[in-house]
Structure 1
Amino acid sequence: MSSQRASDQQKQPKYRQIADYLRAGIMDGTYPSGQPLPSEETLAKQFSVTRPTVRQGIAELRASGLVEVMAGRGGFVRSPHSRPSLTRPRGVRREPDGRYVEADGMRWTNAEEPTATRTDAPVALADLLRVPPGEPLFTYDVLQTAEGSPLRQLHRTYVPFSVLVGTKFEEEPPPPAPDLYRALTALGHELHFTEYVRTRMPMPDQAESLRLPDGVPLLQLLRVTRNSEGQPLALEELHLPGDDLELTYLL
């Protein structure tokens, strides 16, 4: 390390020096993923600072998603080089009995009753659904938990009113997905699915519902259900934790 670089580092606030020291250790494997960081007391003595200064340095790493702090247990490493603990094949398949299930076979349980509302299509969703902005949509929101796993997801279903014209669902609301798939099939549609995936930082209520640590993004999946002519029939918006989950697609 050059004397100039060392001098520049010494000019940094102590909490930043602590953050840089720990970040370097995480990146080079000195502190492996899942392992605890040095205690606040150890770092305070090493850098001749108070424990609040140590916490300020660790807070920088939490914000960047490199550290998870567990109440009563301290800080644990979340290395960007580690493999995710859960890999999920994506897609929807139809069973012989007519049910549609997720390709990974995972069973989802509603943590609460789906909330049904009527909304107007915003521009971005209207484009995907090929309906005019402002067209009314049936909308369902529900928090779901995965059977046998701590994984949680926020699941929203949109169905344009125009898709249901001339059907029994003009008089009664359609069911939310996945039951929606069988209902659309019963109306004579052959279903095809397209998913769009991106990451973004969660809103505070989403982070709370999904139990996301600070600095962890979420995966946003938009699944469009189309008929054999390519007409969009419904859209689902799914939000899942983006820290320890990997999605795979069969090409």
Structure 2
Amino acid sequence: MPPEKTPAKYRLIAEHLRAGILDGTYPAGQPLPSEEILAKQFGVTRPTVRQGIAELRAAGLVEVMMGRGMFVRSPHSRPSYTRPRGVRQDSDGRYVEADGLRWTDAENPTVTRTDAPLALADLLNIPPGEPMYSYDVLQTAERGRLRQLHRTHIPFSVLLDTKYEEEAPPPAPQLYAALTGLGHDLRFTEYLRPRMPLPDEAEALRLPDGVPLLHILRVTLNEHGKPLALEEFHLPGDDLELSYQL
């Protein structure tokens, strides 16, 4: 029988710290021992310690703050932000987000004509490749502390025989009033999944290494269940939870 491999030293460091985080030895929000202390404790170099820390960062258990050190993120602690999801209509007829946040465009929305990829075409119940209006914008709230990437897709087929054959419709949420003005009674369905961000998404959302994003797809439907538009929201997934009223 071949001898068992000894785990690499950086993995031993990662496992030691992971166990301490999960059993409460290192509480959430508290600093971990410094690279120097861990290097002496395990008899390794500081680059080896960094390899172990990198594993914990990728698992979302540790956050490294420049100039301050390494801090614990407990998987059991509650996040700082809880945001209700949904759309409601005010008494004056305006559609607003259920979380009540005032989102501001950090830049002018980018408007493009795109062809529906297979995954989005399936949700919109249109043929793949059908042309759509697409809007992309980075939005901020709470004086820039909260950030999200927001994309709106509107199939051309939804706009046939309307005034928007000649002019581009507005992006959401103004789009909801425009669709209501065309005689639609709106319904909404959301699909949520976490994933790791692409480099440009991580940069725009200011995500540290190893932090996932929340990818939300919201489909706007009419009273007959026909999809009219689709939105994509990309939100930081490190200190945020979403709530849904069922």
Q: Which residue of 1 aligns with 2:99?
A: 104
- 1:170 is aligned to 2:165: yes
Partner of 1:50: 45
Long gaps (5+) in structure 2: none
Identify which range, 100-109 or 145-154, moves more after superposition: 145-154
2:33 aligns to what SS in structure 1? coil
Separation in 1 of the partners of 2:206 and 2:86?
25
> Which residue identity does 1:144 align to in structure 2?
Q
| 1:210 matches 2:205 | yes
Q: Offset of 1:11 from its aligned partner?
A: 3.0
Q: 1:32 corresponds to which letter in structure 2?
A: P
Other-structure match for 2:235: 240
State the secondary structure of the residue aligned to 2:127.
Answer: coil
Letter aligned with residue 47 of structure 1: F
TM-score, normalised on structure 1? Answer: 0.93
Shift in Å, 1:213: 1.6
Question: If the length of structure 2 is used for normalisation, what is the TM-score?
Answer: 0.95
Name the CA distance, whole Å, in 2 between partners of 1:199 and 1:9. Answer: 36
Distance 1:197 1:13 in 2: 37
Report SS of the residue matched to 1:128. helix
1:194 match: 189
- Report the Cα distance in structure 2 between the residues aligned to 1:162 and 1:10, rounded to whole angstroms: 61
Aligned to 1:5: none
Q: Secondary structure at the match of 1:188?
A: coil
Alignment partners' CA distance in 1, 2:77 and 2:129: 44
**Residue in structure 1 matching 2:108, options 99, 113, 116:** 113
**1:59 and 2:54 correspond:** yes
1:187, CA displacement in angstroms?
Answer: 1.2
Distance in structure 2 (CA, Å) of the matches to 1:180 and 1:204: 29
- CA RMSD of the aligned region, Å? 1.6
Partner of 2:176: 181
Contact 1:109 1:147 survives alignment (8 Å): no
Corresponding position of 2:245: 250
Q: What residue in structure 2 maps to residue 156 of structure 1? A: 151
The aligned length equals 244
How many percent of aligned residue pairs carry the same amino acid? 76
Q: What secondary structure does 1:53 align onto?
A: helix
Q: Distance in 1 between matches of 2:56 and 2:235?
A: 22
Quote the Cα distance in structure 2 between the aligned partners of 1:242 and 1:206: 12
Q: Aligned AA for 2:213? A: L
Deviation at 1:148, TM superposition (A): 4.5
> How has the CA–CA distance of structure 1 residues 83 and 9 changed in structure 2, closer, same or farther, with 3 Å as cutoff?
farther
Alignment deviations for residues 164-209 of structure 1 (CA, whole Å, 9 cap, x no partner): 1111111110010011111111111111111111111111111111
Runs of 4+ in 1 over 4 A off after TM superposition: none
Paired position in structure 2 for 1:18: 13
